[in-house]
Amino acid sequence: MNDVAVWGAGAWGQALAMQAHAAGARVTLWARSGLVPRLPVALPAIAVTRDINEARGALTIIAVPVQHLRAVCGALAPRPALLACKGVEAATTRFPTEILAWPSLGVISGPNFAAEIARGLPAASVIASLDDALREGAIAALGTAHFRLYASTDVLGVQAGGAAKNVLAIAAGTATGAGLGENARAALITRGLAELTRLVLALGGRAETAAGLSGLGDLLLTASSATSRNTALGIRLGQGTTLEAALAASQGVAEGVATAPALLARAGDIEMPICAATAAMLSGRATVREAMAALLARPLRVE
């Protein structure tokens, strides 16, 4: 797959375009509103277009926010595509591959900050697809000595991990912003992993997916660093900022905000108390202190 099209020119889309270029692909980047530099290094000499129909390749990488995925891609002809977005569609509770439902789809997910990928720092990720040719082609199109890619067929499990970790990162950030201490943050991340694992398994995914790069790995990175948009938003909420002001201060989209209620709806009867508390806090039904108190007041149980 020597010709790669990247749809979406946010930080992650630009980083993946740079990564495909570094791997030797000819890259065309679709930037709907024109290219705005979002990374600490300059974009290499790749083609940039504002016409999505001009961004074509043997592989298309779609890096637009989940809540806009249907509007951007829904009317376009199906093609082999790798989805680089994480979350659950608010209106339908569908994961990205379920929104498009094209015959040949895959997802990329893992503990990856766009700026570090762009700088060529060591990183790893997972590419999941039921299409062997797409999966292996995407690994070849993006993999380099500093970006190690693992293959998976657990498409729903990988997407579930990517969606849940954003919600859990808001919770961890909120605890930090509220000054609740490192113990509280570590407990939230650890018990959050238990919720993420229950969700993955209930959807038919594998335990090793939850314990791997797209589950535990992504959760650790996202919930442990203020570089994460979701954690940063949580920190502002914990400091007393309103949700509207916290969103206005965000650099890019904090997917966990729209994902939280949609993820709970998709989870149904699956026990996800941290995600539920986060959704209650985001909706204004609970304060930070009330949400934490509710979690601590839950009945004791065996781990």
Q: How confident is the model at residue 1 (pLDDT cuts 50, 70, 90)?
A: low
Q: What is the pLDDT of residues 171-183, one digit of tens each?
A: 999 999 999 999 9
Domain 161-296 has CATH 1.10.1040.10: yes
- Quote the pLDDT of residue 141: 97
Sign for the pseudo-dihedral over CA of 56, 60, 61, 62: positive
- Specify whether the CB–CB gap between 78 and 102 falls below 8 A: yes
- Quote the pLDDT of residue 169: 98
The structural domains of the chain, with segments of one domain joined by +, span 3-153, 161-296
Average pLDDT, the chain: 96
Q: Which of 38, 86, 165, 229 is catalytic?
A: 165
Which residue, 177, 164, 165, is CA-closest to 289? 177
| Mean of pLDDT values over 256-279 | 97
Q: How confident is the model at residue 8 (pLDDT cuts 50, 70, 90)?
A: very high
| Angle, CA of 20, 250 and 296, to the nearest 5° | 110
Q: What is the pLDDT of residues 135-164, one digit of tens each?
A: 999 999 999 999 999 999 999 999 999 999
- What is the share, in percent, of the chain residues with pLDDT greater than 70? 100
**What CATH superfamily is the domain 3-153?**
NAD(P)-binding Rossmann-like Domain (3.40.50.720)
Residue type, position 162, single letter = G
Residue 124 β-bridge partners: 148
Examine the residue annotation and report whether 86 is marked as an active-site residue of this protein: no
**Does the pLDDT at position 128 exceed 90?**
yes
**Does the pLDDT at position 9 exceed 90?**
yes
Cα dist. 68→85, 153, 169 in Å?
10, 25, 22
**Does the pLDDT at position 263 exceed 90?**
yes
- Round to whole Å and give the CA distance between 51 and 5: 12
Q: How confident is the model at residue 84 (pLDDT cuts 50, 70, 90)?
A: very high
- What is the share, in percent, of the chain residues with pLDDT greater than 90? 94
CB neighbour burial string for 167-194, b if at least 16 within 10 angstroms, e if fewer: bbbbbbbbbbbbebeeebbebbbebbbe
